[in-house]
Structure 1
């Protein structure tokens, strides 16, 4: 029998676009509760290096997961889900090129990174759940998704620590956090696979932004743009 989603179709794009609406319909502002214990004595250079390493690690792991997942399931998805206009974090205003990044103030870049990381908090939790029950998924994929979820929390704490170090008082700000992603709970196995693939590619794109912003800020703050 031919897979339900074996051909690209407009209704599949509508599914993804609807998932964005469902994702953001329960949005609220979360206070940033900074726990600086364990970070106060770490040199700022080490904080940057650790955050950059974590971002690059997440990026590499996510790229690997996306490629492995598509290799196993893309035949039933119609096409590889790389339409980033359907990514839930696209509503966040982010610098699009090197010139815009250089023109963005340091505190603003750090807050953007915090918002990106927070936007993935609930989707990653739900991604763990859906991969755990996804028919045909392999155990190593679940372990990698869990690892990415934990690493995302680690990099969030590191970026918040950098923000406080560079801009004291930033703990009084609030950031947007996303809630549930509905379509990962669909009873249609092909829809769930499609959404998982799209999420992995979107995460890969977003974490690349974070890694790039961190590299720029390290050069700007630590090396006075002499790098």
Structure 2
């Protein structure tokens, strides 16, 4: 016998229909949420991968550029001894010990990296101009300096993108102004060459820090510190 719309349903059938609808609703609602979380994690993974590749490439390029510049313009021991002078990024709160880095919150690590990258904007801008004006500068050296400037800007944008997605609304840290332009433009050849050499050595140190910080940050955010 078929039920007509006018016939009342039993209480058991009503409960069965309600439970079925509830399960169906939970399935419909939960799947997009899971997909959304998975997409966000995958997107973050891609951001970190891109930033890491750029950071590692920049670090290697800086090492090559530093060694090439010293070989061409700063050969004597005096330059090497003086290259221990303080970098203009020394006032930034950076982390040297591995335990300190791992215990630092992800937002603070990101802010430190962004500050380091930002503070290099003007020094690299002038470094390109000064190396281009140097007698004896070859085209490959100049192209590497220009590429360093471009890669630093790319890396900065990637890290800012990560900060926006991992910590929406977080404010970036202040960064110190660069005060070394006078030495870079000095008429004294020794002072001038040392200033350029020292900038490259400091950039090399800072790019290495960013690579290390990114590895720790990726472990914190993507792998929940299970690395």
Q: State TM-score, norm by structure 2.
A: 0.77
Distance 1:84 1:159, change over 3 A: farther
Structure 2 residue aligned with 1:176: 175
1:142 maps to which residue?
Answer: 142
Q: 1:73: how far off?
A: 2.1
Equivalent residue, structure 2, for 1:116: 116
Work out the CA distance in 2 between the residues paired with 1:44 and 1:130.
38
* Cα distance in structure 2, aligned partners of 1:85 and 1:44: 38
Asked if the contact 1:116–1:206 (Cα under 8 Å) also holds between the matched residues in 2, the reply is yes
- Alignment correspondent of 2:62: 62
Q: Which residue of 2 aligns with 1:223?
A: 223
Larger Cα-atom Rg: 2
1:83-122 correspondence to structure 2 within 5 Å: 83-122=83-122
What are the ranges of 5 or more consecutive residues in structure 2 without an aligned counterpart?
1-39
How many residue pairs get aligned? The number is 187
Q: Report if aligned partners of 1:81, 1:197 keep a CA contact under 8 Å in 2.
A: no
Please list every run of at least 4 consecutive aligned residues from structure 1 whose deviation after the TM superposition is greater than 6 angstroms.
Answer: none
Q: Is the 8 A contact 2:62 2:203 kept in 1?
A: yes
Change in 2 beyond 3 A, CA 1:47/1:61: same
In structure 2, the residue matched to 1:32 is none
How far off is 1:177 after superposition?
5.0
Residue 191 of structure 1 deviates from its aligned partner by: 1.8
- Which residue of structure 2 lines up, in the alignment, with residue 3 of structure 1? none
Alignment of 1:1-227 (within 5 A): 43-76=43-76, 78-80=78-80, 83-170=83-170, 172-173=171-172, 175-176=174-175, 178-179=177-178, 181-227=181-227
Alpha-carbon distance in 2 for matches of 1:81, 1:125: 26
CA contact (8 A) 2:58 2:148 kept: yes
Mean Cα deviation higher: 40-49 or 192-201: 40-49
In 1: Cα distance, 2:82 partner to 2:54 partner: 23
The CA distance in 1 between the partners of 2:84 and 2:56, in whole Å, is 20
Contact 1:128–1:142, Cα closer than 8 Å, also in 2 = yes
Preserved contact between residue 89 and residue 176 of structure 2 (Cα < 8 Å): no
1:57-83 C-alpha deviation (Å, 9 max, x unpaired):
010001001111111222357232674
RMSD of Structure 2 on Structure 1 (CA):
2.0
User: Which structure has more RCO (C-alpha within 8 Å, separation ≥ 6)?
Assistant: 1
- Per residue, is there more helix in 1 or in 2? 2
**Could you give the per-residue CA deviations for residues 141-163 of structure 1, whole angstroms, max 9, x where no partner exists?**
11101101011000001001101
